[in-house]
Chain A
């Protein structure tokens, strides 16, 4: 298994190189001069603009800029932010942990809500419970995250004064709760449907029917046999969500004023802060691969039917 882990990790290197090249070229092509963005709404003088361009080394050829960036990358240097002058590595080190904490808590909330809801909807299929769970999931999936976030803020923070409106505050758990709940709820809406359909498939299988015929208790059938075999698609989606929640929680982080990496990346794109955009995207890509690799390994551990092989990464 360890060999498999390192092989997969090694394979991420060309992927990351590809991401770097693609992003570098893409950021050259999209309109927006990073030097000009430093001047806000004011038209700078030619000399001032040139001074900033030279400071950011934008007057060098694209090839020189790229090789210089790549050289830095190999040495572990992600460059310096065009806007704040901070090393990108430091920005990521500061903003990634809050994003990770939020994503982790969101996943816990997602699992706590989605798995019981999905299992219940599968057991009680075609009853009001199933229909109710479907309607709630549909509403949550359709609702824009910032609207749900605002409603939560208005109700739990302004009306009831139970939770803070937003921000990291002193970093305590209470500040994490509302943004994580919003992210977790929306993710749970998807996961509950996947859980239900995975459970339905397993519940209809021959061995479950045989277990029922043998007179095994319903609870044991559902939780010991059915749910265990329904885990692979659930975990696959959770892995996907975790990766997405780390970097793509831009709207949630914005609404809740959360100083995370997604929020910082959103600002960086507006400012054409190329080193930060590339550095943050590379970090997120790497994490995404890592998390999904972790999920694959867990799948192998909890379900013997899932086999990690050389040829294909997952054989089910």
Chain B
């Protein structure tokens, strides 16, 4: 998402130029087929658009740009199926938990190597995870390791190693958790859990930051040339099927518009589509544009439940949720690239089931609920304020909601705040509503439901507390069987939707395009491309 939101001023000017672009560039219509992985042809270098990453070190795998590179260079214990996001083995061939679900054992693949030829052992995972948790690393994504016993001590700098990690054998990793967590393997596909060869970091930590040595299908060919390129080459000693491509050239371009022009000029094989041009580009490249596939990102408006007006007024909250015209926001403002959200869990999650209590646009229901709440025609509802981060693309959707609520008789003031001021307002709880965006870092319902709505979660920004929901979420974490977990999470989601602590608005969707010669291209719901599957046709 980081490179996707540009100022509306720039966007509108760029949109004006689109007419010229179509005229000048002609109307290439391309075709593509995403054949199965085994059908690929070896060879060639893929020119891939990338915004400047903040880091390509797994310890700082925060934003999508860096994660795209890290995922090509490193393999964690597990991986996700690119379409269904089901778990599949990677560096670990199998795993098992104890009955309680708080102790996990992973059996590693023997013979797997780092790009420097060293074997990938359990100790390399222990070293890498302790490195992420260490205070001096100051990792922005260390919180992913919070379930592991002893994480807090290492974060605070009191200890250097998490007591929950051990390697009883060279290729066996044991992880003790602070609490039962049946979905624990699902979080391990995040790049922050990648193994790191200790010697390479010890030798030269600064070099590792620009030329990390991983164990994935691609290796860094040369150190990262900041603001220019990141060059990868196929790792021939990879334990799995070798990548089809000889290499990947990540071309670092800050402006999506410039990148798109480079794509049109043939210098790039893949780009994201600039905002304001999605419909035109989707038509022009109808066989290779991937638009509107839901990602694991929920955009929502949160109610501050510590505020008197919302604290005990469920019907008012539900009325507001029914009043929002999600279709207009998704289809007109986001040009069909986003998907209207009635529930909380995105449809990209495996075995997705639409909740019964999902919200749709219904002014009649909204008016009825408002009346039942004791506010017929909005009477007695104080003026509400919605705060949001300025320059993050929230203006348009917020204006739609403002108009929707005005028709209901409820006044809504919009306040765009600079990021720090926005975060401070969120932390202090001094607002009535806020615009939020939540990205599931891993394909689990827990990433959305527990994080946002468990009363003790640090990410529960709305201040929601429901003992029944808390119990369902904890029970789900303990449930051994996937089916039981899903059922419990579904029940929790239904209850949360009934309580309406947030207004779900849209699920962020894909808006990317690739050249016709690029085959085997898949954009996953985690907003990345598994590059080892990609191949180039003649």
Contact = CB atoms under 8 A, between A and B. Distances in A.
Interface of A: 31-33, 36-45, 47-48, 51-52, 54-55, 83-86, 91, 94-95, 144, 146-147, 150-151, 153-155, 157-159, 161, 164-168, 254-257, 259, 263-264, 267
Interface in B434-465: 437, 458-459, 461
Interface residues of B, number: 56
Nearest to B228: A259
A51 B419 contact: no
A43 B264 contact: no
Contact of A154 (B206, B261, B419, B458): B261
B480 interface: no
Nearest to A84: B226
A48 B157 CA distance: 11
B138 A263 contact: no
Contacts of B202: none
Given A41-B437, A167-B251, A33 B52 contact: no
Contacts of B155: 47-48, 51
Contacts of A167: 228, 251, 253, 262, 267
Contact of B261 (A37, A157, A168): A157
Contacts of A267: 52, 254
Given A158-B264, A256-B258, A41 B392 contact: yes
A264 B264 contact: no
A88 to B, nearest CB: 13
A157 B265 contact: yes
Contacts of B352: none
Interface in B8-52: 10, 13-14, 17, 20-21, 24-25, 52
Interface in B244-281: 251, 253-255, 257-259, 261-262, 264-265, 267
Contacts of A164: 265, 267
B54 interface: yes
Contact of B140 (A33, A48, A150, A264): A48
Given A51-B135, A158-B265, A267-B52, A257 B253 contact: yes
A147 B226 CA distance: 26
16 contacts: A32-B419, A40-B2, A48-B140, A48-B143, A51-B139, A54-B135, A55-B138, A146-B10, A146-B13, A155-B24, A165-B262, A165-B267, A166-B261, A255-B258, A259-B228, A263-B254
B216 interface: no
Given A85-B209, A154-B24, A158-B265, A37 B419 contact: yes
A40 B389 CA distance: 12
Nearest to A258: B227
A33 B24 contact: no
Nearest to A147: B13
Interface string B110-152: 0000000000000000000000000111111011000000001
Given A43-B427, A43-B461, A45-B458, A158 B254 contact: no
B381 interface: no
Given A45-B458, A155-B24, 19 more contacts: A38-B140, A40-B54, A41-B392, A43-B423, A47-B152, A51-B142, A52-B138, A95-B227, A150-B261, A151-B20, A153-B261, A158-B25, A166-B258, A254-B258, A255-B257, A259-B227, A263-B254, A267-B52, A267-B254
Contacts of B228: 167-168, 259
Contacts of B206: 85
B538 interface: no
Contact of A159 (B24, B140, B458): B24
A298 B221 CA distance: 47
B218 to A, nearest CB: 22
B423 A154 contact: no
B143 A45 contact: yes
A159 B25 CA distance: 6
Q: Can you list the 8 inter-chain pairs with the closest CB atoms, starting with the nearest?
A: A259-B227, A55-B138, A51-B138, A165-B262, A52-B138, A159-B24, A165-B261, A154-B24
A150 B138 contact: no
A55 B157 CA distance: 12
A1 to B, nearest CB: 39
B420 interface: yes
A256 B267 CA distance: 13
A221 to B, nearest CB: 46
Nearest to B227: A259
Contacts of B412: none
A83 B54 contact: yes
B418 interface: yes
A79 to B, nearest CB: 15
Contacts of A91: 226
**Which residue, A52, A161, A166, has most C-beta atoms of chain B within 10 A?**
A166
A40 B20 CA distance: 35
B227 A39 contact: no
A83 B60 CA distance: 11
A279 to B, nearest CB: 15
A48 B137 CA distance: 10
A47 B418 CA distance: 23
Nearest to A39: B140
B313 to A, nearest CB: 26
B528 interface: no
B400 interface: no
